[in-house]
Amino acid sequence: MRPLSDAATWWHNAVIYQLYPLSYADGDGDGTGDLGGIIQRLDHLTDTLGVDAVWLSPFYPSPLADHGYDVADYTDVDPRFGDLANFDRLVDEAHRRGLRVIVDWVPNHTSDQHPWFVQSRSSADNPRRDWYYWRDPKPDGSPPNNWVSSVRGSAWEYDEASGQYYLHSYLPQQPDLNWRNPAVRAAMLDVLRFWLDRGVDGFRIDVAHRIMKDPQLRDNPTNPDRISDYYKPINDEYLSQRHIHDRAHPDVHGVYRQIRALLDGYDGDRMAMGEIHLADLADWAAFYGTQSDELHLALNFWLTGAAWTPTAIREAVEAVEAALPQGAAPTLVLGNHDYHRLASRIGQAQARIAAMLLLTLRGAPLIFQGDEIGLTDVAVPEDRRRDRFGEPGGRWSRDGARTPMQWTSGPHAGFSPAHTEQTWLPLSPDYERNNVQAQLDDPASLLWLYRRLITYRTASPALLDGSYASVGGVPHACLAYLRKAGSDAVFVALNFGDEPQEVDLPGAGVVALSTAGTRNETVEGSVRLAANEGVCVELS
Ligand code: NOJ
């Protein structure tokens, strides 16, 4: 972590921690996390990990149909989480510790309980009718076009009262806002101003590419090759179409240019990072703008679905690097609240390799809450499931990756106070053994590795701002790359296999960091890697 005043373009290489407020820390004992709990546990982010910024998933008033990604009021705090005074305190406390605060902004859709939608739905001539997409049925009564929801079924919901359909790209409880209506745009930009005025340092923009659709709402063509741009299993119906009309219309770039100008108009360095699920890297990279005048960071999801092999990872990193506009910083996402847990996908041994990869690539790494202690997916019994995306016909349930943080071996893993009846999702049965406290007590733990990697990175010009170059001629089980800034050069070698390997070095150096413990070793000509070991070699 660096002092707040330090970096003009801090987001370029900031380590960002994604905090899932429902599951981080429960201060008031109702079984769900809250802002008070977050404040109590800020030290984990600053003193233990030393990250630069925290991104908070939504804490706004919400019926929680999609756990906060269905916002019923963009400018308040849901009472479950606290109130605006708690939020202001959180920002103050974070800033005092040198930690920047990024909040989630969900522009594509509101909750169906948002007063805007309640009004819009109330009658066909309500002034807010056009804030959402309302259309007549086709003559046979079917939906206005063939668009499908990312969750399941048609993206259109029929409203008996008015005899029209409304559009929802996700759940029916999440109606899509009509961004072509200037009043919607103005109201949503005011939301940004509201949080900027409260001192936030930036925004994570939910499904940033979706907000502009084909003005004529034409049918999507079919997708005979079934190419997925989500890099994850998705419902068959969604995969059966090429999504060229229901999102990412070129007009979307005008919106982000306007948002960039708004952010640039504020003092300090406020930023926006967008969640962009587009397989075509040119389309994805376009969100940085042609003149660096759109998003500061466009999150890339290729690695969440790529095979965990050196070849697949190298291919992804090189492709992303090649697609990036001059001067832009990448963010290759390894996991978040929408995916299976990283350690469940690749195993605990490779979770250490993932940590080194994440924190030694170029750009701004994102750590998803709990990955720093290797949390795995929890099998949530049916009667305690929460995620509606996981209901029949939808995608998998994301509950398993959203379970409460494991702080101690005490009651409720230290997530909730002892008197709490039940946490909102069950804890992993392994919490007595695997928790933050236990890992802090063990210098060989994954948590200590994250901590050492962040400390090392923060002091390394090559890792912070250096160039990236893949290194060829290494064993098949290994990935190697060179990060270089002036005379500072760090050679990273990662062993993805269960056998020891020898990797050639371009000269001599010192093993500054290993995923397997302290080595402090001088090496020349090559470096030996144990099974599942990764190293950073500082070249002399
Ligand atoms: C992406 C979010 O990460 C996910 O959790 C949510 O369900 C969808 N966007 C819809 O808002």
Q: Where are the domains of the chain?
A: 10-107+182-447, 115-167, 466-539
Contact present, 2 and 14 (Cβ < 8 Å): no
Question: Which protein residue has the closest C-alpha to ligand 1 atom 8?
Answer: 69
Share of the chain above pLDDT 90, in %: 91
Does residue 468 surpass a pLDDT of 90? yes
Query: Buried b / exposed e across 118-128, counting CB within 10 Å, b at 16+?
Result: eebbeeeeeeb
C-alpha atoms less than 13 angstroms from C-alpha of 208 in its C-beta half-sphere: 30
Q: Per-residue pLDDT averaged across 181-203, rounded?
A: 98
Question: Which protein residue has the closest C-alpha to ligand 1 atom 5?
Answer: 338
Q: Residue 148 has what DSSP assignment?
A: B
Domain 466-539 CATH (choose: 2.60.40.1180, 2.170.150.70, 3.40.50.920, 3.40.50.300): 2.60.40.1180
Range 10-107+182-447 has CATH code 3.20.20.80: yes
pLDDT tens track for 123-141: 999 999 999 999 999 999 9
Sheet holding 16-19, edge to edge: 331-332, 297-300, 271-275, 202-205, 100-105, 53-56, 16-19, 366-368
pLDDT tens track for 325-381: 999 999 999 999 999 999 999 999 999 999 999 999 999 999 999 999 999 999 999
Radius of gyration of the chain (CA): 23
Q: Per-residue pLDDT averaged across 240-252, rounded?
A: 95
Task: Ligand 1, residue 389: give the atom nearest the CA.
Answer: 7
Say if 10-107+182-447 and 115-167 have the same CATH topology. Answer: no
Residue 5: per-residue pLDDT: 46
pLDDT tens track for 78-121: 999 999 999 999 999 999 999 999 999 999 999 999 999 999 99
Q: Residue 320 has what DSSP assignment?
A: H
Range 115-167 has CATH code 3.90.400.10: yes
Residue 36: per-residue pLDDT: 98
Q: What's the one-letter identity of residue 450?
A: Y
Residue 518: per-residue pLDDT: 84
**CA nearest neighbour of 270 among 195, 363, 187:** 195
Q: Is the CB of 34 under 6 A from ligand 1?
A: no
Does the predicted TM-score (pTM) go above 0.85?
yes
Residue 338: per-residue pLDDT: 94
Q: Is the CB of 207 under 6 A from ligand 1?
A: yes
Q: What is the DSSP string of 155-216?
A: SEEEETTTTEEEE-SS-TTSPBB-TTSHHHHHHHHHHHHHHHHTT--EEEETTGGGS---TT
The H-or-E segment that residue 254 falls in is helix 252-264
Q: Is the CB of 66 under 6 A from ligand 1?
A: yes
- The best mutation among 169, 170, 235 to test binding of ligand 1, ranked by most ligand atoms within 8 Å of the C-beta, falls on 170
